């Protein structure tokens, strides 16, 4: 096991640190990598292979999973149990398995051992369920983006300002336009997004951005 590299990619938190310590205690050649974006890429592992454990709390975590898989690493994703869309995206990107970060450390260690030993960590039915969730989430994002694409540049800027907490009066002052113009933009936004309130429009924009990430 000691010859098989295990890279744990994640923020400086208790889960990531504890996992590295536990892996080393179990004889793995484990090390922590501080990556918070796509970066220059993962080096190809030695002929014996290697494992990358990606903490999905990182903003670009799904991209890191895909990058590691393309470089030839087996990949294990761990993340928050309620962030199912991101977990599904990681599985779709090629992760061998997903384990909630709330799971005991020994569960994560056993998952790494199973991957190294060539044993499946995820049942076929479970993988299919994750992939179906990802397809559903992507379809939802695509539908919402089509609605957002209907907005003019000025309307989208108004929506972004509303999302940041600005009132219509403040937007009018900043944009140097009449209050009636801003209200017209807001009405058009609600119609194009097919929602009934500014709060619903903001929620749609935020959720689309979250799922897209």
Measure CA 164 to chain center: 22
Tell me the pLDDT of the chain (213 aa) as tens digits.
446 788 999 877 888 888 989 998 888 888 888 654 434 467 777 766 789 999 998 878 888 999 999 988 999 999 888 889 889 999 999 999 999 988 999 999 999 989 888 888 888 999 999 999 999 988 888 888 899 999 999 999 999 999 999 999 999 999 899 999 999 999 999 999 999 999 999 989 988 877 665
Query: Looking at residue 40, what is its pLDDT?
Result: 46
Q: Which residues pair with 6 in a beta bridge?
A: 30, 51
Neighbours of 47 (CB within 10 A): 5
Query: Looking at residue 189, what is its pLDDT?
Result: 96
Quick one: residue 109, left, alpha or beta (phi over 0 = left, psi -120 to 50 = alpha)? alpha
DSSP string of the chain?
-TTSEEEEE--SSHHHHHHHHHHHHTT-EEEEE---S-TT-PPPPPTT--EEEEETTSTTHHHHHHHHHHTT-EEEEEE-TT-HHHHHHHHHTT-SEEEETTS-HHHHHHHHHHHHTT--SS-HHHHHHHHHHHHHHHHHHHHHHHHHHTS-HHHHHHHHHHHTT--HHHHHHHHT--HHHHHHHHHHHHHHHT-SSHHHHHHHHHHHHHHH-
Query: Looking at residue 37, what is its pLDDT?
Result: 42
Q: Which residues pair with 32 in a beta bridge?
A: 8
Query: Looking at residue 80, what is its pLDDT?
Result: 87
Query: Looking at residue 48, what is its pLDDT?
Result: 61
* Residue 145 CB partners (closer than 8 Å, separation 6+): 208, 212
Query: Looking at residue 190, what is its pLDDT?
Result: 95
pLDDT in tens, 40-67: 467 777 766 789 999 998 878 888 999 9
Question: End-to-end CA distance of the chain, in Å?
Answer: 35
Phi, psi of 140 (to 5 degrees): -65, -45
* Dihedral over alpha carbons 79, 84, 87, 92 (to 10 degrees): 180
């Amino acid at each position: 096991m000691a010859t098989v590299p295990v890279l744990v990619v994640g923020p400086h938190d208790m889960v990531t640190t504890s996992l590295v310590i536990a892996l080393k205690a179990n004889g793995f050649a484990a090390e922590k990598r501080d990556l918070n974006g796509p970066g220059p890429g993962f080096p190809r592992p030695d002929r014996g292979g290697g494992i990358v454990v990606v903490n999905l709390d990182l903003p670009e975590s799904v991209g890191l999973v895909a990058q590691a898989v393309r470089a030839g690493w087996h990949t294990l994703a761990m993340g928050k149990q309620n962030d199912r869309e991101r977990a599904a995206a990681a599985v779709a990107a090629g992760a061998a398995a997903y384990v909630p970060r709330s799971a005991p450390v020994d569960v994560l260690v056993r998952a790494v051992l199973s991957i190294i030993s060539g044993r499946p960590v995820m049942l076929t039915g479970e993988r299919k369920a994750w992939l179906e969730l990802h397809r559903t989430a992507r379809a939802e994002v695509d539908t919402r983006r089509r609605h957002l694409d209907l907005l003019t540049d000025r309307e989208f800027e108004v929506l972004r300002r509303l999302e940041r907490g600005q009132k219509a009066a403040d937007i009018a002052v900043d944009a140097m336009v009449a209050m009636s113009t801003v209200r017209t933009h807001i009405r058009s936004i609600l119609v194009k997004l097919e929602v009934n309130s500014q709060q619903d429009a903001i929620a749609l924009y935020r959720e689309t951005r979250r799922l897209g990430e």
